[in-house]
């Protein structure tokens, strides 16, 4: 069975928040059951070898509700917290943390296998919002704090 891709021209911009069926740990690249918020860190065009079709490959960071990460496990300089004052403008429904380490990052093809609207938020699109300039600078600061280049190679 082949892949189905969205038109690469519709791919999200870097620093966008998109809804994704993030693969569960240990499940290789099988889409997860739940749609999760993810932060776009890089977008690159690739060629699907069997059909020579061009598609967008999207590098993402996993987001989770702030209540799911105990204060002791947070890295305020290495994780991006989307606080209550920003959640609505970014299409989120609660405070969200994006842990910007290598263990919470994946590269997935831009298509319906992984990227779908969040069903519990009315009129939600796949692309929920985009970080402000200040939030984008915060992401770059998180990468610098972790000693990582942005975007990652």
Q: Is residue 153 part of a domain?
A: no
- Determine the structural domain holding residue 30 and report its residue range: 8-146
Q: Is residue 1 part of a domain?
A: no
Q: Give the pLDDT of residue 65.
A: 94
Contact assessment for residue 33 and residue 6, using Cβ atoms and an 8 Å cutoff: no
CATH code of the domain in which 114 resides: 2.30.30.110
Q: Is residue 151 part of a domain?
A: no
Cis status of the peptide bond prior to 57, with omega within 30 of 0: no
* pLDDT(108) > 70: yes
Instruction: Give the C-alpha separation, 8 to 56, whole Å.
Output: 5
Supply 82's token pair: 């989307």
Tell me the per-residue pLDDT of 45-57, one tens digit each, with 9 for 90 and over: 999 988 899 999 9
Q: Give the pLDDT of residue 123.
A: 67
CA-CA-CA-CA dihedral for 71, 73, 74, 79, to nearest 10: -160
Supply 85's token pair: 């004052």
Q: Is residue 64 part of a domain?
A: yes
Q: Is residue 75 part of a domain?
A: yes
Q: Is residue 62 part of a domain?
A: yes
Q: Give the pLDDT of residue 69.
A: 92
Q: Is residue 97 part of a domain?
A: yes
Residue 6 exposure: Cα atoms within 13 Å on the Cβ side = 19
pTM of the complete model: 0.93
* pLDDT(122) > 70: no
Q: What is the mean pLDDT of residues 15-20?
A: 97
Instruction: Give the C-alpha separation, 61 to 135, whole Å.
Output: 14
Q: Locate tokens 């702030």: which residue?
A: 66
Q: Give the pLDDT of residue 64.
A: 94
Residue-averaged pLDDT of the chain:
92
Q: What domain count does the chain have?
A: 1
Tell me the per-residue pLDDT of 23-66, one tens digit each, with 9 for 90 and over: 988 777 899 999 999 999 999 999 998 889 999 999 999 999 99
């Amino acid at each position: 069975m082949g892949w189905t891709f969205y038109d690469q021209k519709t791919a999200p911009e870097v620093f966008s928040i998109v809804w994704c069926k993030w693969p569960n740990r240990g499940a290789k690249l099988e889409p997860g059951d739940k749609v999760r918020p993810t932060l776009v860190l890089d977008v690159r065009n690739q060629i699907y070898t069997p059909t020579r079709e061009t598609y967008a490959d999207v590098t993402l960071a996993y987001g989770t509700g702030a209540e799911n990460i105990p204060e002791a496990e947070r890295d305020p300089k290495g994780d991006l917290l989307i606080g209550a004052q920003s959640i609505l403008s970014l299409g989120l429904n609660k405070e969200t943390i994006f842990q910007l380490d290598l263990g919470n990052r994946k590269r997935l093809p831009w298509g319906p296998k992984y990227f779908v609207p969040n069903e519990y938020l009315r009129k939600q699109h796949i692309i929920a919002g985009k970080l402000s300039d200040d939030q984008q600078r915060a992401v770059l600061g998180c990468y610098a704090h972790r000693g990582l280049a942005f975007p990652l190679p």
